[in-house]
Amino acid sequence: MNIVCIGGGPAGLYFGLLMKLRHPAHEVTVVERNRPYDTFGWGVVFSDATMENMRQWDPVTAAEIQQAFNHWDDIELHFKGAVIRSGGHGFVGIGRKKLLNILQARCEALGVKLVFETDVQSDADFPDADLIIASDGIHSRIRSRYEAVFKPDIVVRPNRYIWLGTHKRYDAFTFLFEKTEHGWFAAHIYKFDENTSTFIVECPEAVWQAHRLDEVDPEASIAFCERLFARNLQGERLMSNARHLRGSAWLNFQRVRCAQWSHFNGRAHVVLMGDAVHTAHFAIGSGTKLAIEDAIELTRAFDALGHTREHIPAVLERYQAARSVEVLKLQNAAWNAMSWFEVCGQRYLDRFEPPQLMYSLLTRSQRISHENLRLRDRAWLEGYEAWFARRERPVLPMLTPYTLRGCTLKNRIVVSPMAQYRAADGVVGDWHLMHLGARAAGGAGLVMVEMTSPVPEGRITPGCPGLWNDAQQAAFARIVDFVHRHSSARIGLQLGHSGPKGSTRLGWEGTDEPLPNAQGDPAAPPNWPLVSASALAYGAQNQTPQALDREGMRALTAAFVRATERAAAAGFDWLELHCAHGYLLSAFLCPLTNRREDAYGGSLENRCRFPLEVFAAMRAVWPAERPMSVRISAHDWAPGGNTDDDAVLIAALFKAAGCDLIDVSSGQTTREARPVYGRMYQTPFADRIRNEVDIATMAVGAITEADHANSIIAAGRADLCAIARPHLADAAWTLHQAAALNSPDVDWPLPYRSGRDQLYRELARKNAATPA
């Protein structure tokens, strides 16, 4: 084949040499616009895993790189006068120029033709090529030429950064944070040769403008950064080699993602590679890793299917299918890491002490979890666990106590309120006693009763509980007394009204589906009339509710107050108001379901008015020493709905009304919602509300392991973790998760302790027999 690589960066050079190495008959040309052995930029970083991959594909190149690279295991944080170091992270740093020189020399040795100082305008310049690799960077002309085919999704991020270098040598991947009168600056630093380190300075756009860095030339920006980080630089200078840049030299990162990676131009197959097809933020240091592994994967596909022109379409299809998944994983991690630096000044830097900032920094991508940190650096993590617990010895973060008002939870694990559909006329019975009692004995700090209505018409289904009469109160008091007598857990009640989602079937008969009576089945339980913020049905098959008038609001507020008084009399330790998931109060908050034109509709403040009135009335009669939380949908996941920006304002309004904690869920407000699911997918909303509004939060949603909970709590992303479905599968989830991690800091019921001892012995033997 005749192969042309447009762009002489790591992607084009490495692919060229791999193809020539494996099939010398190929005619391979790499065309680069710069001069021979010239490049811009300072150092590049990739992981130990990428280095091992390179050893397998070309040991000669890998050996030369290994001789030239700087390897380090440590990450070091300088923050608020503290210096904290953690090891075991495994990075490789090498000068970009040195890396390209090695790849260029290897290409020449193998017979790859290198063409320099040629600025390619179009793939049409190579009419004889069979395969054209467009590795021409983030501003790829080839990608732009076929934009309709490649469908690039390019997002420009808000932070500004400048890529500098220094002759000060750092022996760890180092992060500096310095505060000015206008805000915070961060520096990302790593050594890439014996004499030079990369020094990237980053800050929010508003801070950059406030310092008028948009008005100065590169020399003035460098002088500013030298003054800003003078304490750390200790007299060393900062340098720039970005001669190609004009103006301020401060850039905005662009995240590139393409729907299609290849195109047949009528004569040759054109395929994007490296930054031309995808980018990963420097906060995770993986741009070079992506480029190298692109080259490896495309070569692998040719090896598997055949090194001929006829095989190219199948090869390119296989290449995109294999790489797109891996790239997406890394881009998501890079997005999380990038986002952390974009918001850390607003959320964490003023709020966190140095040890917690270090933990948050290390876990920012969500690829490194609590137990992964233990594998990397046990001593550092155990020191942090002791610091977090304020004890002399380490304690798992999820097992540390937590106090709100006069209520202390023994740990941070909450059994989510989960509908059981076993109440009769709103009265809970033996099933609820078993369900809640077993989970209270199972180690959780707080068990929550499912959403309970203050009026019969506010139930979701005929099997849902209520709290409007003495029988219901007495039944709840029985369960509360059981939990208090037979466990060290606390128990809470979630009060709510179903609104437009009421009068539906039991969960296993069809969630949110109307009762059969609505379809004319006379034997089915009777439907009841619904109310909502506006006369909008939850779905085409659901009843159309009546828009609640002012008199109806006053009546429901009074009902919530009476139910609150009954909850207090029943002895509940905690009370939560349900304002999420499309139920009545959520329907007022959401602009998609609130179309009112009175004082309770329109602006966000107006939409919050009725939920806040209900909350304030409840708080006034709920005992002052007992906490009250509010569950909200922090994102509607639907066009025109609330977003996390709105959730911040909603949380602030509830905080001002006396709310102690926001239970942060999302979605379910409309059938049009399209959530983006994933591990801990709602936790970023809890993180933002906690650290921007300065209110305690509870994280919920796809939190399934102790590792998840420990990471969330330790990083300060939430104060409590609510575990739902795992508690349905395992009533003793907390006890079993703590045992798996060999933690003694969990309270087993006395009758179960012989079982505990046997479980710990068995797990210890299993762990001893398992290789690290």
The residues assigned a catalytic role are: 583
Two structure tokens written together for 73: 């295991």
Amino acid identity of residue 200, one-letter, is: I
Detail the DSSP E strand segments found in 601-674: 628-633, 661-665
The answer to whether 268 touches 152, Cβ cutoff 8 Å, is no
For residues 364 and 385, give the distance between their C-alpha atoms in angstroms, rounded to a whole number.
18
3-state SS, 386-421, equals: HHHHCCCCCCCHHHCCEEECCEEECCCEEECCCCCC
The half-sphere exposure of 562 on its side-chain side, counting CA atoms within 13 A, is: 16
First to last CA, the chain: 46
User: What's the CA gap between 116 and 137, in Å, rounded?
Assistant: 16
Torsion of CA 397, 403, 404, 410, to 10 degrees: 80
What is the spatial distance between Cα 522 and Cα 515, in angstroms, rounded to a whole number? 11
State residue 86 phi and psi, 5-degree precision: -130, 140
Looking at residue 694, the DSSP 8-state letter turns out to be I
DSSP letter, residue 214: G
- Contact (Cβ atoms closer than 8 angstroms) between residue 416 and residue 722: yes
What is the phi/psi pair of residue 203, to 5°? -160, 160
Give the burial class of 529: count Cβ atoms within 10 A of its Cβ; 0-12 exposed, 13-18 middle, 19 or more buried: exposed
How many other CB atoms are found less than 10 A from the CB of residue 325? Answer: 9
Place of tokens 């009339």: 529
Residue 765, classed as helix, strand or coil, is: helix
754: its two tokens: 């012989």
DSSP state at residue 138: T
**Which pair of tokens denotes residue 523?**
């034997």
Which residue stretches of 596-641 are H helix? 604-621
Q: Are 466 and 454 in contact (CB under 8 A)?
A: yes
Joined tokens for residue 553: 């609001």
Q: Dihedrals φ, ψ of 235, to 5°?
A: 95, -15
Determine how many CB atoms are found less than 10 A away from the CB of residue 631.
28
- Single-letter amino acid, residue 228: L
Report which DSSP code applies to 691: I
Looking from the CA of 171 toward its CB, the CA atoms found within 13 Å total 2
Q: Is there a contact between 138 and 275 (Cβ–Cβ < 8 Å)?
A: yes
Reduced to 3 states (helix: H, G, I; strand: E, B; else coil), residue 271 is strand
Nearest to 700 by CA among 715, 685, 688, 689: 685
Q: CA-CA-CA-CA torsion for 452, 457, 458, 463, nearest 10 degrees? A: 40
State both tokens at 625: 């020493």
CA distance to 76, 198, 381, 707, 716, per residue, from 85 (Å): 4, 19, 11, 22, 19
Cα angle 466, 472, 476 (rounded to 5 degrees) comes to: 100
Pairing of strands 82-86, 91-95: unpaired
The tally of CA atoms less than 13 A away on the side-chain side of residue 698 is: 30
Find the largest Cα–Cα distance for the chain. 89
